[in-house]
Amino acid sequence: MNFVEKLSRVRIPLGNDTLDDNIRRAKSIMKLFQNSLTPLVLVCLCSSPVFAASSLWTNDGAEESISGLTPPGALGTNSAPGVSWQEYFKKNQRLKNMNLGLRFGGNQTLSRNESQLMLPASLAKIFTAAAALKFLGPHYRFENSFSATLDHGDFTVRNPVFRVSGDPTWGHEAFEGGLETTKENLRSRLSKVLDLLRDHTIRRVQGPIRIESLRPELAGYVRPKGWRDSWKLECMAVMQTEFQANGNCGRFVIHSLGRSGWVTDGVSVPVRMRLSKSKEGSNGVRVTPGFDERGMIREYVFTGYFSKGPLVFDLPVHQGADWLRNLFLGMLKDAGIEYDEGPRESFDHQNSEGIEVDLSSRSMLEILEQAVPYSINGAMDRIFLEVGMHNQQGLSVEWMNRMIADLVSNENLTAGIGLQDGSGLNLHNRIRADLLYEFLLRLRGESYFRDLFSSLAVAGKSGTLLNRATLVASSHTYGRIHAKTGTLNGITNLAGYFLSTPGTEPEPFVVLSESDFTAPAARPLIDGIVVNFAAQNSEKTRN
């Protein structure tokens, strides 16, 4: 059985795409692998929000379940009762090879290394989501707008101005309605401007096009010291800029030695090609970025040997203002509207009026309901910074630690903890199992808890828990675990709530782990602990 035949038997989280679509995409991926060495940067051919989230925007890749298209847990199978924790760990000897930080309540409490400081990875997104709902509220939006002066006399719009907020959702496939192509995602906001221009039969836009930042503090943002150097070329480690599009990620394709370029609409980052024809018949291409003093990428250089294409590279893009300007100019041209750079005019005419188009994001709750379960790093990091700026803390991170301490109200639990970012990528982050457990416990009494709970991934239903085979297979956990995953090299975490029956109070749990296991090898071990916990408490519910 080849790869594509196996794929037809696998549940793959690709949104609303049909199985034929998924197989077609898989064939495209296989063709790339057959024709080239794996590029330095991950190749992603799919436009589904879920696929992108699992392969491009996060470390928390979704697991594939090869046991069939019907989740076994949905049929009530694998409902063995839970055993005592002593018996469970005696039977599962491989857990001895993992450093575990555990905290479970419920029918049989469990604490193990609960005070040890450990990396949260993407569990940090729980804290960020809670802070966003607490300080910004579920209806908060990232503000963006377009304004200009409309002259009815000569069908001209003058002095166009975009005011932008570093909105991480602009053009991002997970937040722009699930459109089929990146090009349409990028244009979805600007299409509102074009609609207004068409409604007024505008023939000309006179510039220059100004782009003003509503969050000038972002101009001082620098690459976090706790990030790995290897992440500098990965889109999942988004650098925050005053304007973002498509998660600050663009696609570059090499078709041949003489034909290459950006295929993402509007991207104009300079690229120098220094490739030679491969004598061995294989590709060996290296991408080297050129940075400025802030760690922003200003150009790319491709070196090495090329044999056969296409080679596809998803690369960070940091020239936000140029990107937005290029997108708008391209749409004006497509619409047949003339653009005149011209000087900025002070225009006062009886036939003129000011116009404005609201280009703001969806609500914070809508953003969190995508960014948290699908673990979208760039969006959560930007939300983290937004809360800090909203609290008059600028780009400082100290407010987060104070929020945690205020909610937990236990100095012993907060000793040594610290969060440096909103996504969990920062390797300087530290939490404890008992702290996170208490935090989850206290959240249940907060007014925003219902919204936070709705943003978590659900086993067998959504996000990075959609196809976690061990959780899906058990009727104790299928649809009943609402949690956040956290994955980095050697780190496999899971924390959230178990909902024994609808209407009951969610029971928190925390699993932190460090090991030499790969994530696919560690997940069943981690999830097995959670299944036993759920089975223990399912028994209590039935009795």
pLDDT tens track for 134-153? 999 999 999 999 999 998 77
CATH of 98-138+363-542 given 3.30.499.10, 3.40.710.10, 3.10.20.30, 2.60.40.10: 3.40.710.10
> Could you state, in order of their start, the residue ranges of all structural domains in the chain?
3-55, 98-138+363-542, 145-358
In the structure encoding, which two tokens stand for residue 185, read together? 């995602």
Q: How far apart (Å, rounded) are the C-alpha atoms in residues 445 and 508?
A: 13
Residue 240 is given by DSSP the state P
Phi, psi (deg, nearest 5) at residue 38: -60, 125
Phi, psi (deg, nearest 5) at residue 158: -115, 155
Residue 275 is given by DSSP the state E
pLDDT tens track for 269-278? 999 999 999 9
Q: What is the pLDDT of residue 483?
A: 98
pLDDT tens track for 405-425? 999 999 999 999 999 999 999
Q: Which residue has the tokens 């992108």?
A: 52
Q: What is the pLDDT of residue 77?
A: 56
* Tally of CB atoms within 10 A around 516: 10
Q: What is the pLDDT of residue 347?
A: 54
Whether omega for the bond prior to residue 208 falls within 30 degrees of 0, making it cis, is yes
Q: What is the pLDDT of residue 15?
A: 32
In the structure encoding, which two tokens stand for residue 291, read together? 């940075």
Handedness of CA 120, 169, 142, 216 (dihedral sign): positive
Q: How far apart (Å, rounded) are the C-alpha atoms in residues 506 and 445?
A: 11
Residue 217 is given by DSSP the state G
Closest of 317, 181, 195 to residue 245, by C-alpha: 317
- The residues of the chain scoring below 50 in pLDDT are 1-55, 64-70, 75, 179, 541-543
Q: What is the pLDDT of residue 492?
A: 97
Closest of 321, 319, 301 to residue 260, by C-alpha: 301
> Considering just the CA atoms, what is the radius of gyration of the chain in Å?
25
**pTM score:** 0.87
Average pLDDT, the chain: 85
Amino acid at 321: A
Q: What is the pLDDT of residue 59?
A: 78
